[in-house]
């Protein structure tokens, strides 16, 4: 049996709430940009490349191996660049609305094929790309998902 990781990422990508009344561009895999252009904002960046990545635990039960995988998937929303346009109060309201709507996605991901062990939603300013000095009002969602493959 193959991993459900592509299915999980596609389910996350399929959900597309608006941010501050605007449609959100979705990027993952080969479509993740090196920098954010104003025309792409707001933009979600979905990646399975995280701090812990996938962990594998192999157990032998009978004649077939049992693999337990733990995936870290990060979904980062870049809203408006800090210092441009509206201020922190307006962006804070947009972040709260987006994060609240995002809870609906988490409910749809519940399945018997994998288990969501932890979800952390953080409203913050996000630097993208790292060490660029470009900061965006945003929301990051980090999933830890456990998958058992027999």
CATH of the domain at 16: 3.30.2000
Residues 33-72: tens digit of each pLDDT: 999 988 889 999 999 876 454 556 666 656 666 777 888 8
Q: How many domains, the chain?
A: 1
This prediction's pTM = 0.82
Task: Kindly state the greatest CA–CA separation across the chain.
Answer: 62
Burial class (CB in 10 A: 0-12, 13-18, 19+), 80: buried
Count of CB atoms situated within 10 Å of the CB of 149? 15
- Give 78's strand partners: 43, 138
Query: Given this model, what pLDDT does residue 62 score?
Result: 62
For 90, list phi and psi in degrees, rounded to 5. Answer: -65, -40
Domain span at 105: 5-149
Q: How far apart are CA 74 and CA 47, in angstroms?
A: 5
> What length does the chain have?
150
Query: Given this model, what pLDDT does residue 53 score?
Result: 47
Q: How far apart are CA 133 and CA 25, in angstroms?
A: 22
Q: How far apart are CA 146 and CA 55, in angstroms?
A: 9
Q: For residues 84-101, give the mean pLDDT.
A: 82
Q: How far apart are CA 85 and CA 44, in angstroms?
A: 19
Distance of CA 8 to the CA centre of its chain: 11
Using DSSP's 3-state secondary structure scheme, residue 111 falls into: coil
Residues 134-146: tens digit of each pLDDT: 999 899 999 888 8
Is the pLDDT assigned to residue 149 strictly greater than 80?
A: no
């Amino acid at each position: 049996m193959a991993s459900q990781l592509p299915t999980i990422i596609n389910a996350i990508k399929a959900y597309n709430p608006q941010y501050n009344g605007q449609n959100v561009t979705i990027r993952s895999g080969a479509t993740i940009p090196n920098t954010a252009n104003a025309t792409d904002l707001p933009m979600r960046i979905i990646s399975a490349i995280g701090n812990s990545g996938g962990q594998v635990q192999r157990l032998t039960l009978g004649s077939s191996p049992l693999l337990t995988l733990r995936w870290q998937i990060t979904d980062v929303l870049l809203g408006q660049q800090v210092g441009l346009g509206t201020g922190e109060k307006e962006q804070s309201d947009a972040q709260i609305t987006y994060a609240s709507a995002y809870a609906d996605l988490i409910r749809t991901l519940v399945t018997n094929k994998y288990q969501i062990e932890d979800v952390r939603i953080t409203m913050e300013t996000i630097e993208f790309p790292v060490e660029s000095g470009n900061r965006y009002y945003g929301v990051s969602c980090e999933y830890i998902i456990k998958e058992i493959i027999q």
